[in-house]
A = this chain, B = another copy of it.
Amino acid sequence: MKPLILVSNDDGITSKGILTLINVMKTLGDVIVVAPDGPQSGMGHAITVGETLRLEENFIFEGVKAYECSGTPADCVKMARHFVLKGQRQPDVVVSGVNHGSNTSISVLYSGTMSAAIEGAIEGTPAIGFSLCDFSHDADFSHAEEYIRKITKQVLDKGLPKGIALNVNFPPKRNEAIKGIRLCRQANAKWVEEFDERYDPNGRRYFWMAGNFVNFDKGEDNDEWAIANNYVSVVPCQFDLTAHQALPVLNELWDII
Given A55-B205, A74-B44, A194-B82, check contact A247 B185 (CB 8 Å): yes
Given A195-B83, A211-B82, A243-B164, check contact A45 B45 (CB 8 Å): yes
| This protein's copies in its complex | 2
Q: Are A193 and B256 in contact (CB under 8 A)?
A: no
Using Cβ atoms and an 8 Å threshold, which residues of chain B touch A247? 183, 185, 236
Q: Are B41 and A50 in contact (CB under 8 A)?
A: yes
Contact residue among B79, B82, B251 (Cβ-Cβ distance under 8 Å from A183):
B251
Q: Are A185 and B242 in contact (CB under 8 A)?
A: yes
Q: Is A182 an interface residue (CB 8 A)?
A: yes
Q: Are B106 and A122 in contact (CB under 8 A)?
A: yes
Q: Are B161 and A246 in contact (CB under 8 A)?
A: yes
Using Cβ atoms and an 8 Å threshold, which residues of chain B touch A39? 50
Q: Are A48 and B42 in contact (CB under 8 A)?
A: yes
Q: Are B53 and A192 in contact (CB under 8 A)?
A: no
